[in-house]
Amino acid sequence: MTLHAPNIADAGRPVIRPLDEAAINRIAAGEVVERPASAVKELVENALDAGARRIAVDYAAGGKVLIRVTDDGCGMTAADLPLAVARHATSKIDGSDLLDIRSFGFRGEALASLGSVGRLVLTSRAEGHEAAQLAVNGGQLGPVRPAALSRGTVVELRDLFYATPARLKFLRSDRAEALAIADVVRRLAMAEPSVGFTLSEVAEGEAPRTIFRADPQPGDLFDALHGRLTAVLGAAFTANAVRVDVERDGLRLAGYAALPTYSRGSSVQQFFCVNGRPVLDRMLLGTLRVAYFDFLSRDRHPAAVLNLICDPERVDVNVHPAKAEVRFREPEAARSLIITGLRSALGGAGHRASSTVADATLAAMRPEAPRVYQMDRPAQASFARATLWQAPAAAPGLAEAPQARVDMPEPAVAEPDFPLGAARAQLHGNYIVAQTTGGMVIVDQHAAHERLVYEKLKRQMAETGIRAQALLIPEVVELSPPDAARLLDHAGELARLGLAIDPFGPGAIAVRETPAILGTVSAAALLRDVLDELADLGRSDSLQSKIEAILSRMACHGSVRSGRALRPDEMNALLREMEATPHSGQCNHGRPTYVELKLHDIERLFGRR
């Protein structure tokens, strides 16, 4: 069924004819400018490409009525302005090499698209030139006029999509669009920590309301990024994140990744950049999940801000006009670097757990009723006089009431100068209480030992390999020819995990061996799980996950059980092993294995501070 009647020539043949320039620009705008946040992204990226050090973004009605971006970049001359709003005109590239992209923008479509669907006004001044202004309304260019501006560029976009009113019906509420704008600005602020950003909401007759502000951060890459992440994501993230800086084969991964015990309920704190460009790439986000899957349960999500740096010719950013997706020339090298780099950084954190665990513990221990401190009580002399009649009479011959004293022998344990201190007691058959030089530690002995056993089993598996069990009769699994070919491409990797497969005619796979640790397993179901991950992520970790899930279960059964009484030397041996074992701060499901309370926090609970 034809929705619109085509242009019919003689004999019913459709006529091919070129579209006019306005229609072309509006079609392009549908790809580049999806919503107000897309316009903000394009304009702020242009400001960054112009070398701006401070960028201010103002919006009204969620960006539908007004978007204004002001920067202190290099600016443009009066002669540059008409070219700036022409399609496929850009200063970023010369067109000779579309792989060597070193700027945010390069397609030359954004301003032309914005001018075709809204009311666009460009005001700019380059050093040594007078300021100039150009207006574009619905694709119609006005004359270049003189203007007043000290430096940089101001781009003002009003009435977005007024020329294509049907697009307005697909926009969300003003609040939802404003949140999307804020998300875009925050992502770009994290990508460029040395640049200052200000985001403000303006309303008629009211003073602008600052929504977000991030001042330029001094220092090197990591110092500046640390300060910017504290401003954007909060001090809790940077206090519980480890520095990631790993390089291999011309690829470098830099940024910060949060400890597993700082996991989130959703993926809202996962940010990736490629050569400083914020991206929303499925492969990168999936790889981040794989790097943490050994530490988190399925309903928890890691938090990280990472920048993958490589030669621009090794990554294609021209996959989509929005430039949110990328394609790597060697995707396996990028995946391997992310996984090994993150696991190495998290392993370097040792037994460390996030400070939010202690904060939650202290919050749970604080009484709900208001506390009465010493300063709120009556003076001691007045209190003594008021209660004198209640005091029992002293026994004859005693100058004061008797006092009770109990001397508890100190256990023969080490001094509490270790990170996890020295064990002092075991409570409820499962919790070890240890004294540190600056406070105390409470350890879940079962969860801690479970992690220790699990890490030991993984080391043994890495050293001796995974034993395979040969099937008496190979199991033949019928698949589509593309699926069978995809599996056979990874046959070597699967064999190292104990799964041996061979081709068995077109579209069929013969399974000869399966991992012994899995016991009796359905080869067909196992292969389909592997295929699902290959289709989703480009590689499969499902078999590795199944094997490590078995190891985790074995560790649970082989660890110290709750309710078992431990001697002081056993408790201290457990603490020392935790200090020496990576990832011992969380159990196999991502829960903390211990809580550390500082002495000043404990004293505050009792009103001593």
pLDDT at residue 575, rounded to an integer: 92
The residues, any chain, with a CB within 8 Å of residue 600's CB and separated by 6 or more, are 609
The mean pLDDT of 208-224, rounded to a whole number, is 93
Confidence of residue 372 (pLDDT cuts 50, 70, 90): very low
Q: Is the pLDDT of residue 110 over 90?
A: no
H/E element, 140? strand 140-141
pLDDT at residue 385, rounded to an integer: 47
In this predicted model, what pLDDT tens digit does every residue of 418-427 receive, in sequence order?
889 999 999 9
Cβ neighbours of 589 (radius 10 Å): 17
Q: Contact at 8 Å (CB) between 59 and 67?
A: yes
H/E element, 45? helix 36-49
359 vs 34: which has the higher pLDDT: 34
In this predicted model, what pLDDT tens digit does every residue of 484-541 receive, in sequence order?
888 888 888 788 778 889 998 888 999 999 888 777 878 888 888 778 767 665 555 6
pLDDT at residue 100, rounded to an integer: 56
Which segment of 29-33, 47-51, 175-179, 560-564 scores lowest on mean pLDDT? 29-33
Confidence of residue 321 (pLDDT cuts 50, 70, 90): low
Confidence of residue 99 (pLDDT cuts 50, 70, 90): low
SS3 content of the chain, % helix, strand, coil (to 5): 40, 20, 40
In order of their start, the domains of the chain are: 21-214 (3.30.565.10), 221-348 (3.30.230.10), 350-366+412-609 (3.30.1370.100)
Q: What's the predicted TM-score (pTM) here? A: 0.72
H/E element, 239? helix 235-239
Q: Is the pLDDT of residue 338 over 90?
A: yes
Q: Contact at 8 Å (CB) between 234 and 292?
A: no
The residues, any chain, with a CB within 8 Å of residue 402's CB and separated by 6 or more, are 395
Which segment of 84-88, 118-122, 312-316 scores lowest on mean pLDDT? 84-88
Query: In 3-state terms, what secondary structure has residue 493?
Result: helix
Of the candidates 38, 31, 49, 50, which has an alpha carbon nearest to the alpha carbon of residue 277?
A: 49
Q: Is the pLDDT of residue 377 over 50?
A: no
Please state, in angstroms and rounded to a whole number, the distance separating the CA atoms of residues 164 and 546: 52
